[in-house]
Structure formats: C-alpha cells, structure tokens
Amino acid sequence: MVDRKRTHALADGSLLLVTVVWGTTFVVVKLAVETVDPLLFVALRFLAAAAVLGTLYWRRLACAPGATWVAGGWLGLALLAGFALQTLGLRETTPARAAFITGLSIVMVPVLAAAFFGERPGRLAVCGVGVSFAGLVVLSAPLAADAAASGYPASASWRGDALVLGCALAFALHIVGVGHFAGRHDPRAITAVQVAVVALLAGVWAGASGAPLPTAWPVWGAVAYMGAVATALVFLLQNWAQIHTSSTHAALIFALEPAFAALFSFLLRGEQLTARSLAGGALILAGMVLAELRLAED
C-alpha cells in the first residue's frame, strides 16, 4: 500500500513537472517564431527530440511490436496537428491567451472519452464545458482597447485564437489516446515512435515549403530546449505517469498549465493581462476544474 501511494505521488509530481515545463514553452515558442517559420520550428524541435530518444531507446524500438508502431503513429498524428496549430496560432496571439485556450483540451477530454469509449460524462463535466465555452467567448472577443493594450489587432487575435482552439482539440485526442494506449505498450518505445512521426511529417512539410534554416543562436537554443526538455523528457514522463493514474486525474493536473504560462509570460515578456482576458481565463480555468470533478458525483 505504501509503495502504491508512493508511486501515485511520484506520478502526480511528474505530471506537475510536465505542466510547469509546458507553461514555459508558450513564451519560448512565441519568441522563436518571430524569426523562423512555425512549421520548420516544429520540425527542428521534434528532430532534436527524436535524436535524443532514438539514441537512448533504439533497442526498444527495434524490439517493439507492430501494434506499438501503429498506436504511436496515431498519437503522433494528434501531436503533429496540435503543435502545428499552436505554433501557427502563436504568431497571432499572446502566450497567455494561447495557454488559456489550449487549456480547453482538458474540458474536451471527458467529452471525447464519452464519444470513443462510452464513458458517460457527469453533470459537472457538462457544466464545465458550458462555463469554459463562456470563458472562451469572453477571452476571444476583446474590446478594441483590450486588443490595443495587447499589441494585437482584434482580427489577428481571432485568427490566432481559432488556430489554438484547433490545437486544443488535437491535444485532447492525444491525452485520451495516451490514457488508452499507455498501459499496453512500452512507454519509452511508444514515446519515441510518436516523436519520430511528428519529426518526419513536419520535416517533409517544412521542406516542401522551402523555409530557410534559422541563423540566430537563440533560436537554436530554443530548439534544443524544446526538443530535449519540453518534448523528449516531458513525453517520457507523461507516458510513464499515465500508466499509474487516470486520464481524468492527469487532465486535472494539466489544468494548471495556463496559470504557469501566464506567470512565465509576465516574468519573461512583461505581458499584462487585461481585465477581460483575466475574466475569460478565470472562467476557462473554472470550467476545466468542474469538468474534472465528476468523480465527486459518483
């Protein structure tokens, strides 16, 4: 019993660390895509991560059954869609706004779990969806003064927010998929397959666009951090930790990501959230928590 509690605590701590790292990535990506093509940045990030994981776990990959490659491939497609849409969206919206909207993936998790696996969402989950949707409307419909204070025209905010909303759906699919597949496959092998799929497809996509490689050293530093830490390390932790906890419990911890992102955006970029953005973000966070408290109804 003690060992089981310790394992659960370690899993929760790992997921919290993942959430903190994710909170830093919005600012890092925002700064990077100001000087490099977004899809090229995704490709470089995942190529770096694939190199790390391939070096560490090539033997596990060589021994992995076909089912692991198939499952990892599906999860990789969800990741590619999520990161491509998020990176493109960050060109037209702020890190804190992107983080709050990405957080809607947590609200989508119980809905998708119901759709794919017949897990009926509770009343609180339904209420959470409604509250978060209200928050999205408030957050993504800024007054002209709010848009000017953020440094972004209202039209750009709508486009950027819409792209990040698509990213939230893709990430929700990934969370549900990891919860479904993680316990059935070697977590190291399936993580490496996911990352390799994203690296390959994003690399082909970026190559076809003819985007030039970055020349600034800070961008390569961002690639190294995002590849080794924010991709290879965090997905290893996530795939291991979700073996020892439910998708719903993991999603509740991930709900802290927008708060960390807003904090780092303030500390590193001096981003000031307007009153409307704060209200919308608070509603989204409230909805995220409500959606994941359905266990209290049982």
* pLDDT tens-digit readout, 73-86: 999 999 999 999 99
Given a cut of 70, whether residue 284 has pLDDT beyond it is: yes
Asked if 95 contacts 273 with a C-beta cutoff of 8 angstroms, the reply is: no
Joined tokens for residue 80: 């590619």
DSSP string, 13-66: HHHHHHHHHHHHHHHHHHHHTTTS-HHHHHHHHHHHHHHHHHHHHHHHHHH--H
Helix, coil or strand: residue 93:
coil
Asked if 103 contacts 26 with a C-beta cutoff of 8 angstroms, the reply is: no
Model-wide pTM > 0.75: yes
Asked if 95 contacts 265 with a C-beta cutoff of 8 angstroms, the reply is: yes
* pLDDT tens-digit readout, 118-155: 666 667 767 777 787 777 777 665 544 455 555 555 55
Percentage of the chain surpassing pLDDT 70? 86
* pLDDT tens-digit readout, 15-45: 989 989 988 998 999 888 888 888 899 999 9
125: amino acid identity, one letter: A
For position 295, what pLDDT does the model report? 45
**How many angstroms from the chain centroid is the CA of residue 112?**
16
What is the 8-class DSSP label of residue 87? H
Joined tokens for residue 136: 């999205």
Joined tokens for residue 137: 């409307």
- Domain ranges in the chain? 2-176+190-297
Asked if 164 contacts 98 with a C-beta cutoff of 8 angstroms, the reply is: yes
Helix, coil or strand: residue 255:
coil
For position 193, what pLDDT does the model report? 92
For position 161, what pLDDT does the model report? 83
Q: Which among 97, 53, 90, 54 has a CA at the least distance from the CA of 222?
A: 90
46: amino acid identity, one letter: F
Higher-pLDDT residue of 120 and 105 is 105
